[in-house]
Amino acid sequence: MPVKQYKPTSPGRRFMATGTYTEVTKIKPEKSLTKAKPKSGGRNSYGRITSFNVGGGHKQRYRVIDFKRNKDGVKAKVVAIEYDPNRTCRIALLHYMDGEKRYILAARNLEVGAFVLSGEGADILPGNCLQLRNIPLGTLVHNIELQPNRGGQIVRSAGASAQVMAKEGNYVTLRLPSGEMRMVHNTCRATVGEVGNAEHENESIGKAGKNRGLGRKPHVRGVVKSPRDHPHGGGEAKSPVGRKKGPVDRWGNKAQGQKTRRNKRTNQYIVRRRSGK
């Protein structure tokens, strides 16, 4: 998908760059595969803001995506490639031979009219889903499960892909987009190919109003707040963070790149961290 640059007819247009949506073949979603997506404005059931910088935004409906891909042995035809307002990639509408309809993440080079298959007998083609033990070394995959039958949880954003690097015992080693090397059980499923819409990274918001349309409210730095509103606040004129223990968020938790990982249970599956250590 190429990126469209605009003529600077206004300050907001000067740096704006958006997708052309040339690969989208269907405008209205499949009604049976959508459900309501109410907005909370970042507030909990008491009306108190618990998620800051959230609010407004265009009205949306959620598209129910099949992340599990557990319909084995039944061929499905790609009927349409659609836009999904809830994610950066495109989605593909499948019509299975038994009459069922489902949405999946659209892989790169997956076109209307192609057939996809899940299960042990599937070929190594974009959009097909197999267990990791049946995928050859060096293959690019996405929508990867971390626990068998739980559904794909990682490598789902536009242009992302992981590579199958090694197989040893019951585990397969993957190189993730961040550079991390991680072991995943070989019965976990993954979809062959890269996620489509890789040019999304070249898009530019261009103006503040577009962020508001996406439901993002302005974010204010802690150093320009008062000390009662943020630990970084206060001081005369421009002041640095000035904390011996480093920068923190408004509740005193470590922030701005400081390590906060506490999940020791999964450390054994990480072969190499994204930092290279």
**Tell me: the pLDDT tens digits for 218-267?**
999 999 999 999 999 999 999 999 888 899 999 999 999 898 989 999 99
What is the model's pLDDT at position 243?
86
pTM for the whole thing? 0.91
Per-residue pLDDT for 34 more than 90? Answer: yes
Token pair 């020791």 in the structure block, residue: 264
Reported as a pLDDT band with limits 50, 70 and 90, residue 1 is low
Domain boundaries in the chain? 22-200
**Tell me: the pLDDT tens digits for 99-108?**
999 999 999 9
What's the Cα-to-Cα distance from 169 to each of 49, 130, 153, 173, rounded to whole Å?
A: 48, 18, 23, 11
Q: Could you tell me where the DSSP H helices lie in the chain?
A: 208-213
Per-residue pLDDT for 187 more than 90? Answer: yes
What is the model's pLDDT at position 242?
85
Q: Are 63 and 71 in contact (CB under 8 A)?
A: no
Per-residue pLDDT for 37 more than 80? Answer: yes
Q: Are 143 and 190 in contact (CB under 8 A)?
A: yes
Mean pLDDT (the chain) is 95
Q: Are 43 and 49 in contact (CB under 8 A)?
A: yes
**Tell me: the pLDDT tens digits for 108-121?**
999 999 999 999 98
Compute CA 154 distance to the chain's CA centroid, rounded to the nearest angstrom.
8
B/e letters for 263-273, b = 16+ CB within 10 Å, e = fewer, are eeeeeeeeeee
Q: What is the mean pLDDT of residues 197-208?
A: 94
What is the model's pLDDT at position 175?
97
20: which residues sit within 8 A by CB, 6+ positions away?
1, 2, 3, 4
**Tell me: the pLDDT tens digits for 121-146?**
899 999 999 999 999 999 999 999 99
What is the model's pLDDT at position 277?
63
**Tell me: the pLDDT tens digits for 51-66?**
999 999 999 999 999 9
- Whether domain 22-200 has CATH 3.30.210.10: the reply is no
Percent of the chain with pLDDT over 90: 94
